[in-house]
Chain A
Amino acid sequence: MASFLSLLLALAAAPLYPGIILKVKAFFAGKKGPPLLIKYYTLWKLLQKGSVYSTSTTFVFKLGPVVSFAAAVLPLLFFPFAGNASLFSFHGDVVLMLYVMGMGRFFTVVAALDTASPFEGMGCAREVFFSTLAELTLFAILILFYRLSGSLSMSSFFSEGNTLTLAGASGALIVLVIVALFMVLLTENSRVPVDDPATHLELTMIHEVMILDHSGPDLALIELGAFYKLFFYAAFIIQLLCPFSLPLSLLNIIFFFILLALVYTAVGVIESIMARFKMNLVPKFILTSFVLGFFAVILTMGVLQ
């Protein structure tokens, strides 16, 4: 019941949090900023519109948003929110989750290529390159978790008795993981300093440029999928940060959703205090996260003991 409830809450609340990023950025810029619920309004607006399709596109283009949305929702079903058991879980589900997300990206990319626009092709090349590198980090982290917990299931990572939190026995390693994961979050969700979600300059975009041709409900699906993806990473980080041992599972859930705002605030602060990287620095940034993850793995191997 608690797992079902927290999933529903997650699905409903995910569009709220990006509003926090906007508020934080607005605060730094000395502005009022859009209302907190702006993303809900945007989704509602988009859903009421019709979609426009270029005559050069095929069914692949229409498939893109649907598949990428599904691929963003699916991992949440495997996620143990606030320490509650996830809806589904089996040994190796984390690998499935990563590749489901990979599939979502694949369909976004082929939909973008389907438009035959030179911009979107460029964006695809960047997105694919950068997320390939980010995958290295994620797998380094999985290897670490496997060594620490002997399991490859999201649910068992964060189940009772496991120590994959900052407060656990391997907390020092988790610090590295949290930093690496936060860097991957910035990369995979096209945030500053990797990408600029607010820009209108097609030539500098990574992710946004791939969805330029989508409109109306299609765009709403893509946006919502992006919120879920960001939510997934943020939730992952919060799970690592906090053990959630409050007696009531309902309290745990509430606590969890409040803590989540921290990650989004951190994203907002980073976007306000630093500029974007030059495109050729981005791979170095992502590989740094891999180095952090991999270093943590090496530490578990006992070579230093």
Chain B
Amino acid sequence: MDKMLKITNGQAVPRASIPRVDFAEFSAALTEFVANDGFVVQMFAYQEAEKTLVLAVLRNTELYVISTEVRESFPSLTAKASEKFHLFEREIAEQYGVRPEGHPWLKMVRYHANATGADDVFGNDYSVDIPGNYEYFRVDGEAIHEVGVGPVHAGIIEPGHFRFQCAGEEVLHLEIQLGYQHRGVEQMLPSMPMKRMPIICEAIAGDTAIGHNLCLCQAIEALAGMQVLPGASITRCIALELERLANHIGDLGALSGDVAFNPPASYFGRIRGEFLNLLQVLCGNRFGKGLVRPGGVAHIMGQEQRQLLRDKLEEITPEIEHVCDLLFTAHTVVARFEHTGTVTKEMATDLGLVGYAGRACGLAYDARIAFPTECYQDLPANANKVTDGDVNSRAWVRREEVMHSLGLINLLLAKHEALEEEEQAVQARQVNLAADAFVVTVNEGWRGELSHAVLTDSEGKVDRYKIKDPSFHNWTGLAMSLRNQGISDFPLCNKSYNLSYCGFDL
């Protein structure tokens, strides 16, 4: 750990201060770190002066950064140290053509050509427009059958391919292939005028518009040395919590609908709309687009908005409690939720699950508490009682977070009311970023830990922009949930994670 640089969430450091060690040291340091309750926040490659470097941002109770230089291949850390590196190494191989030697399941992540023009690690021909040009993991045997679902699904959901290896109704293995919505956001961002960056980040994952945009804005603020006024900071927190509420409530309704228990599905569907409408009260957009901008917020919350928020919360809080009770006391629902799609705490730790998926397994990590931004350091933490790692726990964690978030918004509203200084709306504009700097921002989006990392070049232009959605960690959790589970439980397990396809595909 002594070789790594300790950094603070949302504070820029000079690029030169990032320790660069040789690969053996890098590997040893990371191996030791993840073995001692350490997790990977970001691990990505970038190019500097014709060299390919790999940079890792790690966390335990603090954030650390370390980097190394790699050539055309390096010994895989997944094989040596931990599953936590699995997707990161595959992503590095795909984006920069660097092969992690000995990787247990080296396969492309999103199906696109690498940025360096090196030979493709996976031997793919990208002029052929079909992701899935490789073998899936196969189980052989007399009674084994294979079921492929997607990428086009029956419901209105995003595209992704799920390949099940089943023995009768039992799933032995699930392999998830995504990448169908790869838009090249990471490559696009550095070439964009700064005014457009928030708009793009709001579209990384449509349901996490505020979360991702907040990560971007904090990064820009850190690099440009901008200060955010307390009022704007409070508005941002309220928006983030409203986004969490809308999505958690929607998920609880969808979970209910998936087990064919209709009344809560309808009620929650309506209540979700109420929260989206509150976001509209804040900024004119139901998904909170156009609210958060570097330096503050584009719409000031006034007395009228505060009152609207307060009245609506007072009205729907008891409704939410009632519908939650209806859902969680229906014994047929509990029978369906309990012991379905269980992931043990050990496995969750091995995979590095984040957000409610992790908390449902007993990993208490919450970025709002561990690395607080905006005004989260002054707000109370949440605790989860049901942590068995099954669908029931993931539903309960959502319920507890919903009640917690409602409390937070009330606190934030009171805080905002007590403010005296005049607020100012900000609009996105071109600002000068610190040259040769590095910043990483971490926020607890509704799905879990969101992180953006930005490297600037010698002219203060964005050189490399790296995005990580919590789904990047958690998709593997879904696959593990299905082990030895009935295939008919897949939709329910999938809904209990409700991961982002486009947030993963970038």
- Point out residues on A near B: beta carbons under 8 Å: 25, 28-31, 118-119, 121-122, 125, 192-193, 196, 198-204, 271-281
Contacts and interface: CB of A to CB of B under 8 A. Distances in A.
B491 interface: yes
List 9 A-B pairs, minimum CB-CB distance, nearest first: A29-B266, A196-B260, A275-B259, A201-B491, A275-B261, A275-B332, A276-B260, A274-B332, A200-B154
A30 B264 CA distance: 10
A276 B147 contact: no
18 contacts: A28-B262, A30-B263, A118-B147, A122-B147, A125-B168, A201-B154, A201-B155, A202-B149, A204-B258, A204-B490, A271-B262, A272-B262, A273-B330, A274-B330, A274-B332, A275-B335, A276-B336, A279-B489
Contacts of B333: 275
Interface string B246-277: 00000000001011111101110010000000
Contacts of B486: 278-280
B461 interface: no
B488 A279 contact: yes
B146 interface: yes
Contacts of A278: 335-336, 340, 486, 488-489
B155 A274 contact: no
A200 B254 CA distance: 12
Contact of B263 (A196, A204, A272): A272
B332 A203 contact: no
B345 interface: no
Given A275-B332, A277-B332, A279-B169, A122 B263 contact: no
A202 B361 CA distance: 28
B266 A31 contact: yes
B145 interface: yes
Given A29-B263, A204-B492, A276-B261, 20 more contacts: A28-B263, A29-B265, A29-B266, A31-B266, A118-B145, A118-B148, A121-B145, A122-B487, A125-B168, A198-B262, A199-B491, A204-B258, A272-B263, A274-B332, A275-B256, A275-B260, A275-B336, A277-B332, A279-B486, A281-B335
A31 B270 CA distance: 11
A273 B330 CA distance: 8
B262 A119 contact: no
Contacts of A31: 266
A122 to B, nearest CB: 7
Contact of A203 (B259, B262, B270, B490): B490
Determine which residue in B267, B488, B492 has the highest number of CB atoms from chain A within 10 A of its CB, and name it: B488
Interface in B142-164: 145-149, 154-155
A118 B491 CA distance: 16
Nearest to B490: A203
Instruction: Classify the secondary structure of B's interface with A.
Output: helix
Contacts of B488: 203-204, 278-279
Contacts of A30: 263, 266-267, 270
Interface residues of B, number: 33
Nearest to A28: B263
Contacts of A272: 262-263
Nearest to A197: B260
A274 B263 CA distance: 10
A115 B336 CA distance: 31
Contacts of A202: 149, 154
Contact of A192 (B148, B260, B340): B260
A122 B148 CA distance: 12
A202 B267 CA distance: 25
A122 B145 CA distance: 10
A143 B172 CA distance: 42
Nearest to A195: B260
B266 A200 contact: no
Contacts of A121: 145
Interface string B155-191: 1000000000000110000000000000000000000
Interface string B351-377: 000000000000000000000000000
Contacts of B332: 193, 274-277
Given A30-B266, A272-B263, A276-B336, A203 B145 contact: no
Interface in B480-506: 486-492
A200 B494 CA distance: 14
B340 to A, nearest CB: 7
Contacts of B154: 200-202
A160 to B, nearest CB: 42
Contacts of A199: 258, 260, 491
Nearest to A280: B486
Contacts of B330: 273-275
B318 to A, nearest CB: 16
Contacts of B146: 118
A200 B155 contact: yes
A278 B489 CA distance: 8
A271 B266 contact: no
B15 to A, nearest CB: 48
Contacts of B256: 275
A274 B264 CA distance: 11
A277 B332 CA distance: 7
Nearest to A196: B260
A196 B146 CA distance: 24
A73 B101 CA distance: 65
A183 to B, nearest CB: 15
Contacts of A28: 262-263
Contacts of A192: 260
Contacts of B335: 275, 277-278, 281
A201 B340 CA distance: 17
B262 A25 contact: yes
